[in-house]
Structure 1
């Protein structure tokens, strides 16, 4: 092949790589725009990366995961506890999201303090 063909081919590959890198670096996933399967995988991935040693605020969690599928709150001894459920695994294809299809996140005064079954146990003890 001629140099011109190799030059065009090389330019195309470089342009493709540059665009791919730009999308990966600057495109933010929007959970509200995902279909349910992608959203479940996205929620699962982000939730299990959360580290309770460096607690997140409720605002930070909502900005990364979007709004919760189910939420409830109680006040105990002037402390606000909020349980937020994010769908992470479908059990029935009935179109209704239930708590057993979600992973729970427990917040105390807007700070994440527990995830999953531990969050459910702590919240139930407060009631």
Structure 2
């Protein structure tokens, strides 16, 4: 029985099902559609189409949301945040920080922040569509 459970967990991890369900749940809570099942089906179809075309992944945050998030992190209004702040923001959004090559002393501008977050969201959705 334990082998079967371990195989099941490995299958879910291999296909990134927990991450997919987490992100779909976040989209549901953000949008709160009247017809959640249809919304989920539509979202999965958008992911599949975006994977084929490379455009229009469903995003939880748009550019204005990311600008607001950046402003909240940049409390001094200097136009940049630190790498630890940046990595913390990525983690709070459920995005990976493993491939980040920044040194802790580097500074992240608002444009770099927004571009990187959107790119990571696209990579996340693309991983689910495979």
The verdict on a shared fold, with TM-score over 0.5 as the criterion, is no
> Which has more helix, going by share of residues?
2
Give the alignment's TM-score, normalised by structure 2.
0.27
Give the alignment's TM-score, normalised by structure 1.
0.27
Greater Rg over alpha carbons, structure: 1
